[in-house]
Amino acid sequence: MKKAILISLIAGLLIFALKDAVNALDIEWEDIGRGNLNLRSILVDTDKPQIIYIGANNGLFKTEDSGENWRNILSIRGQNRAVNFLLFGSQDRNSLYAATGAGLFYSANEGRNWDRIFHGKNYLENECTALAILPSTIYLGTKAGLFVSKDKGRSWYKETGKIGNSYTLAIACNPEESDYIYVVCPSGVFKTQNKGQSWERVFVANPQEDGNDAEEKLDDEDEEEKFSAIRYISIGPNNANCLYLATSKGIYRSQDRGLSWESFSTYGLLNQDVQFLFLSKNSNLYTVTKSGIFEYRSGRWQELSFNLAAGEIRFLTLDNQNNLYAAGDKGLFKANISDFNNRKGENIISLYLQNEPKINEVQQAAIKYAEVEPEKISYCKNPGP
């Protein structure tokens, strides 16, 4: 009986220690959306982090006081009023681009006035899904292919081949190296290294999709299993050679501009279906799965969303004050992750056990509460494997 009490006591002490450690790791999330729901994108002015733009299913909203108050700055007419993606202009943050379900809109004065600079010929071309803004070129992804403008949106041409006829899922580029552009379609990742003069597919989503297309067949038949549906692509802000892909079966990484790919660790993720990836300016890697939001550190993914009930998360971004923003169907949420980042290098087990009681404390507690004689308690100082 006393032995059972002792075991229960030790288990209880460990549970309380773990609970305290987990509570110490909790990140406080604040709902700053103020009732704006079904969000698709976020844009934060890093020079003025109190200015935030959010794209929703029913328009574009702006706050100038860190989310205390919001106002609608762009209402879309028609059946599809969603704002799918937001970007600042390449030259300044007064210029704003909004990729919507009814074309591409541009504002030169922080959203006070808008002009529609792209309008598709049908509803598929009209729905803009991805965007890249470079000093001399705009790349616009739609549900019907990739469009390009060399004159700031006054005229457009449609790319040919697969990227000219496929749903554009995402576009990635490094503004300092405008020769290289990466476009994600359901069939794979396409790259140009000469400002769009030619494109090559560097990641195949389904090697068997083209049947007789010999150049896309892989030598190893087992390779078919490792490729899967692509969700998003992110490029390293400090290393243009490094690319990350979010897919339905995990994460892939290329360290040579897409020439070769490798599976990236999913250790710590509760779900392999990765919905979104984000690389911060400090090269910290964040991801979203159906299980939550995670950051990669010390060789594993660590969850940041224990206390977050936000439903489906569609977009992440970070400001220059270590505030992480998550936009989803239940609104916009913000958490400061400075304390979490300061723990870089610590593994999650050591954090959980930092408040674990010493063995002599467990002894004393057992003696006091279970009336166990000290000489009957033994333990091994150097336990084996």
What is the pTM for the complete model shown? 0.80
Neighbouring-strand partners of residue 130: 141
Mean pLDDT of 318-343: 89
Q: Assess contact for 289 and 269: CB atoms under 8 A.
A: yes
Task: Show the DSSP H helices in 136-249 as ranges.
Answer: 223-226
Virtual torsion, Cα 113, 119, 125, 131, nearest 10 deg:
-40
CA–CA distance, 124 with 128 (Å, rounded to integer): 8
Q: What φ, ψ does residue 265 adopt, rounded to 5°?
A: -55, 135
pLDDT at residue 90, rounded to an integer? 87
- Residue 341, Cβ neighbours under 10 Å: how many? 15
Confidence at 8, pLDDT banded by 50, 70, 90: low
CA–CA distance, 88 with 135 (Å, rounded to integer): 12
Model confidence at 254: pLDDT above 90: yes
pLDDT in tens, 209-240: 543 343 333 333 344 344 559 999 999 888 99
Model confidence at 178: pLDDT above 80: yes
Model confidence at 257: pLDDT above 80: yes
Mean pLDDT of 249-259: 96
pLDDT at residue 357, rounded to an integer? 54
Confidence at 177, pLDDT banded by 50, 70, 90: confident
The residue that leads in pLDDT, 304 or 283, is: 304
Lowest mean pLDDT among 61-75, 210-224, 352-366: 210-224
Mean pLDDT of 92-121: 96
CA–CA distance, 269 with 247 (Å, rounded to integer): 13
The answer to whether domain 76-207+226-241+256-261 has CATH 2.130.10.10 is: yes
pLDDT in tens, 117-151: 999 999 999 999 999 999 999 999 999 999 999 99
CA–CA distance, 237 with 283 (Å, rounded to integer): 7
CA–CA distance, 225 with 245 (Å, rounded to integer): 16
Mean pLDDT of 23-35: 82
pLDDT at residue 341, rounded to an integer? 63
Lowest mean pLDDT among 33-47, 131-145, 278-292, 345-359: 345-359
Angle at 107 between CA 103 and CA 113, to 5 degrees: 105
